[in-house]
Chain A
Amino acid sequence: MTLYLRSRRAPAALAVAVAGWAAVWAAWPLLSSERDVEGPVVVLTVLLLVCAASATLGSPDVGLDRTAALRWPWRRLVHVLVASGVLVGLLALTLASGARFGPFGVVARDVAGLVGLAALGAAVLGGDRAWFLPLGWTLPVVAGAVPDAGRAEVGRVLTWQLQEGHDRASAVTAAVLALAGAAAYARLGPARRDDTGRAS
């Protein structure tokens, strides 16, 4: 188990995730008097954590992994679920503190959807580039590329990360992304991208 985690660079990813989470959590009270962290900041923090976690989706040698006798699909599924759980747990911890990342429904939805996107990214683009998808969708949305984010159905689907917790369209979108991403990653595993320049 520990070897698996180390092969996935989990400690480093976890360190980065925790550092980022701690930084935002500590900085928030300095910047605002509200107890609840503002929506876009929550989304950005979730994005950062998911990108850090997506570093664990790759594998140092994809070809070697494929020849192993292990039942990879289950392992990968569990990996994705555990990663999501760790992130949600980390953010849920703040609900008891002076800088609350919430509401819980929004955080859970955003983690699920973005982890799903990252898993999809790992399956299609490889572990190193898994973060392209969640970042590529969320960054323009938070920066305001979709005006009128709240009204039309299409707008709410496109900006699902920013919607309120009770919004159906965004919840459905997140669920679809989570399921599709987890399924693709479990089934296909990280894509084989041979762009190291090392010759042996």
Chain B
Amino acid sequence: MRRVLVAELRRSAAPGAGVLVLAAGFLLGYGDGGAGSGGWMSLAVVQSFGLVLMWPVALAAGAWQARREHRTGVLELVATTGRPGLQRVLPVCLAMGTTVVGAYGALAVLTALLDGTGGYLPPGALVILALGAVWLAGGVWLGLALGRLLPSVVTPPALAVAGLGLLIGLQSLPVGARWVAMLASPAMPLAVQGVHDHDFLELSGRLDVAHGLLGVAVAVTAVVLLAAGSRRARAAALLPVLLGAGLAVGLAPRDGSPGVDGVVAGVGVDRVAQELVCTPDSPQVCVARVHADLLPTITAPARDVLRGLARLTPAPTRAEEDVTPHWVHAPGPGGRPDTVTFTVFSGNRGLGPDAVASRMAAQVGTGAWAGCSAPFAALDAADAWLRGHEPPAADPERPDVARVHQLWQVLRGLPDRVALQRVSAVRVAALGCAHDLDRVLAG
């Protein structure tokens, strides 16, 4: 069989299918730019987005290849030979499956190399990539099976359009039915809406198993359908997919995870990614494990910020990343006066270390804190005083610029020691979620 497999790899639609799948994934992944620069989880998720185009293309490629037997009239000859159905279709299945999954893998590798993906590798990312490969192979085999049943010229494009339509339809399901999309869509992570930064994303084990089970069931059904000779055998092909679907639906998580609002079932927070990795010396700068490779670049600017705030009492002595994911709406921890928090969006869409530092330092070191922050005029005035420059005269985003100026004048009028006390008090009050910061500043 090895010779036949090599012949199929070279002479069938397999090479073309691989090229097309690679192109499709590339088109979709690079539309956003830098898919892999955000870490491995981001790479896996964006690669799954590419399946929206890769899966329909795989369907069409399979159907196109399946036309060969019909188009060339080889069926007469093949009917006189003895190989049973499953062995007969094995070379074509292996050839098409290998090139398509190989293209998928090559895309992932290429993305990782070009974008320099490195650092924390969550097993969840590998699982997502593997599940995508299973569904893609199932797609090609499904195309082969359906193309054999309906060998018309119209079948490949019809399958491609239907496939894309199905994926788009699953995407548009209402929130209550979203778990169906999570289960049945080849591009499963696409159904997770509202998450723009995938660093702390973790999909539940049950979801992975259910999704994988369904994918395997579809693949097995496709191969059985392809190998089936008689009508009874074709009907038997329904068994694996029904069985798999039943099991998968039973396993699939349907309730949202506690504390994760508005996000679909099966989505959780990666605790390991959230663990803090800190500099050994002080002042300590800590980032989440998933951003650990950014620690060297962020340490120096963060320490500059800390130095700038050293006059305050109590002076913050460490900088820590806020590891609550942006899509979790649970109330975060209260701000501690001895810590300046910052957020890191990694990847090409992320901010450079200087921008992170400037956000960190804004509003007396509370600018990047995601707790109950509000653009309080008092914080801006205090910040302007601390840095020793006048607040801007006009700002289109801040209607209360006059108030800021007023408060700043108040601070300017006070002796330095008192003003410093007031500024520190404002900071502590803001971190404690107080609302009357103007009063605190005015004394």
Q: Do chains A and B touch in the complex (CB under 8 A)?
A: yes
Report A's interface with B, CB cutoff 8 A. Answer: 9, 12-13, 16, 20, 24, 31, 40-41, 44, 47-48, 51-52, 55, 58, 127-128, 131, 135, 139-140, 142-147, 195-198
Q: For chain B residues 138-160, which have a beta carbon within 8 Å of chain A?
A: 152-154, 156-158, 160
Q: For chain B residues 149-190, which have a beta carbon within 8 Å of chain A?
A: 152-154, 156-158, 160-162, 164-165, 168-169, 172
Of the A-B pairs whose beta carbons lie under 8 Å apart in the complex, a sample of 6, sorted by A's number, is A12-B152, A40-B168, A44-B164, A44-B165, A135-B161, A142-B164
Among candidates A12, A55, A58, A139, residue contacting B160 with C-beta atoms closer than 8 Å: A139
Smallest CB separation, B68 vs chain A (Å): 8
Contacting pair B72 A198 (CB below 8 A): yes
Contacting pair A44 B161 (CB below 8 A): yes
A51-B161, A145-B53 known; 11 new pairs, CB 8 Å cut-off, are A12-B154, A16-B154, A47-B157, A48-B162, A51-B154, A140-B24, A142-B164, A143-B52, A143-B56, A145-B31, A195-B71
Q: What are the interface flags for B188-218 relative to A under an 8 Å C-beta threshold, 1 for contact and 0 otherwise? A: 0000000000000000000000000000000
Is B32 interfacial (CB 8 A cutoff)?
yes
Contacting pair B32 A147 (CB below 8 A): yes
Smallest CB separation, B195 vs chain A (Å): 17
Contacting pair B158 A16 (CB below 8 A): yes
Question: Nearest B residue to A58 by beta-carbon distance?
Answer: B153
The count of A-to-B residue pairs whose CB atoms sit within 8 angstroms is 82
Is B374 interfacial (CB 8 A cutoff)?
no
Q: Which 5 residue pairs of A and B lie closest in terms of their CB atoms, listed nearest first?
A: A197-B72, A51-B157, A145-B27, A131-B157, A143-B53
* CA distance in complex: A13, B156 (Å): 13
Q: What are the interface flags for B286-300 relative to A under an 8 Å C-beta threshold, 1 for contact and 0 otherwise? A: 000000000000000
Question: Nearest B residue to A32 by beta-carbon distance?
Answer: B172
List of B residues within 8 angstroms of A40 by Cβ: 168
Contacting pair A31 B53 (CB below 8 A): no
Q: Counting chain B CB atoms within 10 Å of each CB, which of A9, A52, A140 scores highest?
A: A140
Contacting pair B169 A139 (CB below 8 A): no
Is B79 interfacial (CB 8 A cutoff)?
no
Is B74 interfacial (CB 8 A cutoff)?
yes
* CA distance in complex: A139, B153 (Å): 18
Count of chain B residues near A, Cβ 8 A = 28
List of B residues within 8 angstroms of A145 by Cβ: 27-28, 31, 53
Query: Chain A interface secondary structure, helix, strand, loop or mixed?
Result: helix
List of B residues within 8 angstroms of A48 by Cβ: 157-158, 161-162
Contacting pair A55 B153 (CB below 8 A): yes
* CA distance in complex: A47, B154 (Å): 12
List of A residues within 8 angstroms of B71 by Cβ: 195-197
* CA distance in complex: A128, B162 (Å): 19
Is B333 interfacial (CB 8 A cutoff)?
no
Report B's interface with A, CB cutoff 8 A. Answer: 24, 27-28, 31-32, 52-53, 56-57, 60, 71-74, 152-154, 156-158, 160-162, 164-165, 168-169, 172
Instruction: From known contacts A47-B161, A55-B152, infer whether A198 and B73 are also in contact, taking CB-CB under 8 Å.
Output: yes
Contacting pair B168 A135 (CB below 8 A): no
Question: Nearest B residue to A148 by beta-carbon distance?
Answer: B31
Contacting pair A135 B53 (CB below 8 A): no
Among candidates B28, B154, B172, residue contacting A140 with C-beta atoms closer than 8 Å: B28
Smallest CB separation, A42 vs chain B (Å): 11
Contacting pair A140 B158 (CB below 8 A): no
Contacting pair B161 A55 (CB below 8 A): no
Smallest CB separation, B170 vs chain A (Å): 11
Instruction: From known contacts A44-B164, A55-B152, A196-B71, infer whether A146 and B31 are also in contact, taking CB-CB under 8 Å.
Output: yes
Instruction: From known contacts A140-B53, A197-B74, infer whether A147 and B31 are also in contact, taking CB-CB under 8 Å.
Output: yes
Among candidates B154, B162, B164, residue contacting A143 with C-beta atoms closer than 8 Å: B164
Question: Nearest B residue to A50 by beta-carbon distance?
Answer: B157
* CA distance in complex: A131, B74 (Å): 25
Smallest CB separation, A35 vs chain B (Å): 17
Contacting pair A135 B154 (CB below 8 A): no
List of B residues within 8 angstroms of A52 by Cβ: 154, 157-158
Q: Counting chain A CB atoms within 10 Å of each CB, which of B60, B161, B168, B169 scores highest?
A: B161
Smallest CB separation, B191 vs chain A (Å): 15
Question: Nearest B residue to A40 by beta-carbon distance?
Answer: B168
Contacting pair A144 B52 (CB below 8 A): yes
Smallest CB separation, A55 vs chain B (Å): 5
* CA distance in complex: A9, B153 (Å): 10
* CA distance in complex: A50, B309 (Å): 67
List of A residues within 8 angstroms of B164 by Cβ: 44, 139, 142-143
List of B residues within 8 angstroms of A31 by Cβ: 169, 172
List of A residues within 8 angstroms of B156 by Cβ: 131
Question: Nearest A residue to B57 by beta-carbon distance?
Answer: A139
* CA distance in complex: A114, B57 (Å): 19
Contacting pair B154 A13 (CB below 8 A): yes
* CA distance in complex: A131, B64 (Å): 12
Smallest CB separation, B244 vs chain A (Å): 25
Smallest CB separation, B46 vs chain A (Å): 12
Smallest CB separation, B153 vs chain A (Å): 5
List of A residues within 8 angstroms of B28 by Cβ: 140, 143-145
Contacting pair B56 A139 (CB below 8 A): yes
Smallest CB separation, A127 vs chain B (Å): 8
Contacting pair A20 B53 (CB below 8 A): no
List of B residues within 8 angstroms of A55 by Cβ: 152-154
